[in-house]
Amino acid sequence: METTIFAWFKDSIHLYFADSSSQPGEQVMSASSGRFVIQKHQATHLHYDFRLELDSVLKSWAVPKELPTQPGIRRLAVQVEDHELSYIDFEGTIPKGEYGAGTVEIWDKGTYTLISRTDKIIEFTLDGSKLKGSYALVNFKDNNWLLIKKKS
Ligand code: MN
């Protein structure tokens, strides 16, 4: 598993840098901003739900490990279904028998600034309590992304 992810990661990095040097017109540049939240979700498996306010919904990724605060660290982030904006403040218990049953607590929240966005790469800066600075989400296969902490 790790070996395969590493191979994907290498491909993604190539893609990432290839894209960085692509024609400026191909990227949608934006100075837009919004809110983000990271909900620590103790379900069947502990994970962290990373959600960005984008396109009037919460774009969401499930991250199996704590999110990176140091540059050079990357995490697998599996994109899951969009959530309604109102979910951004949710903390509490999801009852047994319901999807995601377990406890949810807000691990970090704040605002973000969108730097650039394509189908495959979303770059942004975070301004939260725990997470600050430059990050990138890089899609490498299906719903699988890498969340990368960059040097600010
Ligand atoms: Mn979850």
| Predicted confidence pLDDT, tens digits, the chain (152 residues) | 444 555 555 555 555 544 444 444 445 555 588 999 999 999 999 999 999 999 999 999 999 999 999 998 999 999 999 999 999 999 999 999 998 999 999 999 999 999 999 999 999 999 999 999 999 999 999 999 999 999 97
- Separation of 44 CA from ligand 1 center, angstroms? 10
Q: Yes or no: say if 51 and 60 are a contact pair by the CB < 8 Å rule.
A: yes
Contact 69, 130 (CB under 8 A): yes
The pLDDT tens digits for 3-45 are 455 555 555 555 554 444 444 444 555 558 899 999 999 999 9
Ligand 1: centre distance to CA 149 (Å): 21
* CA 103–ligand 1 middle distance (angstroms): 9
Using a 10 angstrom Cβ sphere, with 0-12 exposed, 13-18 middle and 19 or more buried, the burial of residue 9 is: middle
Q: Where are the domains of the chain?
A: 2-149
11 alpha carbon to ligand 1 midpoint, in Å? 27
CA 18–ligand 1 middle distance (angstroms): 32
Distance 27 CA to ligand 1 centre (A): 30
Lookup: tokens for 113 = 């600034």
Query: From ligand 1's centre to the CA of 17, what distance in Å?
Result: 31
Q: What is the pLDDT of residue 92?
A: 97
Q: What does the pLDDT read at residue 32?
A: 82
- Residue indicated by tokens 């984008």: 54
99 Cα to the center of ligand 1, angstroms: 9
Q: How far, in Å, from the CA of 19 to the mean position of ligand 1?
A: 30
